[in-house]
């Protein structure tokens, strides 16, 4: 297959005076079923979100991103959509959505929807018609293929290609009624749309315009780089972490053409007020430069996944490894450099598909708590959560905060496979244990670390029953759809906001810096001490001002190299809560971060001026 290639776009640094609004914005992701339950049925909903808007306004975020709230059978927690132009009754009604949108706008925030158009639910009317017969009017709206020659359909090995699903197993589903397979890169209930059919594309564009006309402020586009498929042929096993076959559809041959067409058909003329984010697994920097180059009019920014795969072992996600900080620094610096003046970064370490940041890369304090050292556990959780937050938020790009991250929610102590809800985790367990004979204990250990369920437990609002997730939570029906993390009595939003060590207040300060300081919003990024195993240090430079960020991302003290010391520098931000040293101190305590402001003589760059 021939992929679309092009030279990297020209460098065109953003002028702060003429920058798009989203370059100073911070986005907050809401996973609606787990955010807040407003009607007491144990399932998060629109009323619950509306009841917590003041918490988000206080935090200072600019944009709310809602994971899917459309009608869905919920085989993949709403990412299998049965109707693009309605609200699932579990969440509420279109009227309640309009009320939420208005209330969000009244507080000065915007709202973007999750757009899932690589695939639909198998209960969507389009697919119901498509599978009704081979001659159906919408048959070609999905990808249908005959069994492999010489094989009987529905038997192992009869699939049209050897491609694998993101959720384990073959990427093809047998349909007995019409005697063909349909492509499904994800769950069997999520058939892939055929974007080569212009009728499909224009139906999607019409739906998008319908939401924008309703007042929505943009879209986060789920796996949008997978919409253009290449040749339906067998592929050789690759070393990529992507499923077998991904080289035929990840950043496929017409994906840039389709996104440019989408921009013309949907966003042109009103894009200045909107925000678009493309989720793009398996996307190299060279393609990211194309997706986000403003002169190409595709999307404003993308989610890339290289950095959140660095703690995956040779066996992929379910073979977890210890993060090497040097590799993470090199990766993030490469993306900072590669998109500077050419595109735009999204900044994230947490979302609905990733384990909790403070447990994954920091120290969530649970070991200390289990040993009876509650104060030590709380101290280290605060320090590591805020250190990682500062390292991320002070880079160049648009930061994303995932619900509960702002007060340090942690991973979950799952006991056995019956505790998991995540279809990806459950399918992997079945394949690894039942088909491949893996030791269940080893598989469960990996699941506990890496499952998406870690991010999907209900938000812990206070120390009342079920963490205050449900209105009327003393009623039997208010039991949450998924159990609350048992540490909710200690870790919750109310307790954090009342604490002298408040992760929430630290996030407020980070967000305020992005809003008010041009160096944070637009300054060039320069990595310092790339081979240091504890220290993440970098400068942000704009004109004659620079910020130096130094963070000890370990549980041991860290002596600052001479390159990271600034005599007489002004302290801008630190997470140290007692005995704070000035910006010239030679040692960072465990999980300590310091941000200092320095001048750059003659407006030189950080590299040239030794900043």
Catalytic residues: 222, 279
388 vs 329: CA distance, rounded Å: 12
User: Tokens 């040097």 appear where?
Assistant: 326
How many whole angstroms separate alpha carbon 1 and alpha carbon 311? 31
- Nearest residue to 388 (alpha-carbon basis) of 325, 337, 451: 325
Contact 494, 441 (CB under 8 A): no
Structure tokens, 536: 């993440």
Q: Give the rounded distance of the alpha carbon of 266 from its chain centre.
A: 24
Which residue reads 């009019």 in tokens?
297
With a CB cutoff of 8 Å and minimum separation 6, the contacts of 565 are 584, 586
Query: Are the beta carbons of 277 and 304 closer than 8 angstroms?
Result: no
Backbone angles phi, psi at 107, to 5 degrees: -95, 10
Contact 493, 407 (CB under 8 A): yes
Q: What is the DSSP letter of 479?
A: S
C-alpha 349/C-alpha 359 separation (Å) is: 12
Buried/exposed code over 52-84 (b: 16+ C-beta within 10 A; e: otherwise): bbebbeebbbbbbbbbbbbbbebbbbbbbbbbb
Burial of 7: CB neighbours in 10 Å, binned 0-12, 13-18, 19+? exposed
42 token code pair: 């144990």
DSSP for residue 60: T
Nearest to 29 by CA among 352, 503, 421, 346: 352
CA distance linking residue 67 with residue 69, whole number of Å: 7
User: What's the CA gap between 160 and 149, in Å, rounded?
Assistant: 8
Beta-bridge partners for 142: 193
End-to-end CA distance of the chain: 46
Coil/strand/helix, residue 59: helix
What gap in Å lies between CA 584 and CA 343, rounded to an integer? 35
The crossing angle, in degrees rounded to 10, of helices 255-262 and 198-214 is 40
Alpha-carbon separation of residue 331 from 299, 338, 530 (angstroms): 22, 11, 11
Q: How many CA atoms lie within 13 A of 86 on its CB side?
A: 9
Q: CB neighbours (10 Å) of residue 334?
A: 14
Report the run of H or E that residue 552 belongs to, with start and end.
Answer: strand 545-552
């Amino acid at each position: 297959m021939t992929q679309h290639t092009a030279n990297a776009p020209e460098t065109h640094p953003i002028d702060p005076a003429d920058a798009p609004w989203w370059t100073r914005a911070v986005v907050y992701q809401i996973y609606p079923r787990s955010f807040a339950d407003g009607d007491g049925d144990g399932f998060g909903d629109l009323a619950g979100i509306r009841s917590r808007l003041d918490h988000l306004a206080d935090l200072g975020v600019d944009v709310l991103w809602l994971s899917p709230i459309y009608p869905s059978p919920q085989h993949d927690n709403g990412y299998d959509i049965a109707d693009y132009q309605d609200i699932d009754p579990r969440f509420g009604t279109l009227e309640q959505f309009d009320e939420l949108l208005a209330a969000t706008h009244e507080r000065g925030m915007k709202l973007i929807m999750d757009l899932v158009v690589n695939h639909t639910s198998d209960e969507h009317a389009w697919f119901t018609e498509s599978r009704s017969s081979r001659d159906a009017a919408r048959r070609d709206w999905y990808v249908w293929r005959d069994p492999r020659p010489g094989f009987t359909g529905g038997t192992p090995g009869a699939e049209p290609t050897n491609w694998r699903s993101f959720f384990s197993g073959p990427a093809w589903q047998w349909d007995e009624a019409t005697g063909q397979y349909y492509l499904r890169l994800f769950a069997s209930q999520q058939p892939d749309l055929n974007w080569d059919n212009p009728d499909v594309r224009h139906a999607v564009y019409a739906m998008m315009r319908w939401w924008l006309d309703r007042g929505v402020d943009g879209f986060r586009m789920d796996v949008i780089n997978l919409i253009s498929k290449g040749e339906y042929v067998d592929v050789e096993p690759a070393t990529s972490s992507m499923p077998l076959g991904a080289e035929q559809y990840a950043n496929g041959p017409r994906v840039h053409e389709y996104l440019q067409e989408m921009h013309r058909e949907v966003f042109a003329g009103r894009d200045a007020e909107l925000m678009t984010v493309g989720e793009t697994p398996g996307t190299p920097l060279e393609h990211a430069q194309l997706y986000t180059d403003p002169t190409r009019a595709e999307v404003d920014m993308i989610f890339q996944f290289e950095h959140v795969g660095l703690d995956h072992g040779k066996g992929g996600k379910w073979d977890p490894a210890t993060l090497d900080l040097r590799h993470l620094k090199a990766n993030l610096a490469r993306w900072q450099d590669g998109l500077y003046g050419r595109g735009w970064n999204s900044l994230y370490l947490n979302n609905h598909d990733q384990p909790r940041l403070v447990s994954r890369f920091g120290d969530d304090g649970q070991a200390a708590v289990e040993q009876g050292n509650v104060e030590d556990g709380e101290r280290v959780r605060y320090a590591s959560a805020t250190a990682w937050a500062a390292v991320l938020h002070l880079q160049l790009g648009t930061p994303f905060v995932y619900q509960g991250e702002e007060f340090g929610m942690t991973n979950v102590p799952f006991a056995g496979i019956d505790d998991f809800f995540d279809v990806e985790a459950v399918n992997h367990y079945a394949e690894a244990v039942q088909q491949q004979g893996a030791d269940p204990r080893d598989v469960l250990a990996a699941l506990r670390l890496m499952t998406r369920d870690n991010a999907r437990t209900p938000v812990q609002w206070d120390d009342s029953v079920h963490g205050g997730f449900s209105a009327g939570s003393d009623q039997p029906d208010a039991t949450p759809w998924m159990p609350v993390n048992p540490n909710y009595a200690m870790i919750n939003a109310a307790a954090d906001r009342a604490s002298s060590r408040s992760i929430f207040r630290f996030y407020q300060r980070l967000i305020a810096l992005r809003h008010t300081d041009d160096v944070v919003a637009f300054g060039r990024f320069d990595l310092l001490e790339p081979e240091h195993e504890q220290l993440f240090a970098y400068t942000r430079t704009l004109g004659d001002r620079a910020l130096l960020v130094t963070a000890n991302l370990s549980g041991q003290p860290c002596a600052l190299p001479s390159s990271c010391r600034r005599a007489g520098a002004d302290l801008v931000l630190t997470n140290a809560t007692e005995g704070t040293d000035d910006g010239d101190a030679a040692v960072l305590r465990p999980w300590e971060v310091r941000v200092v402001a320095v001048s750059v003589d003659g407006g030189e760059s950080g590299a040239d001026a030794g900043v």
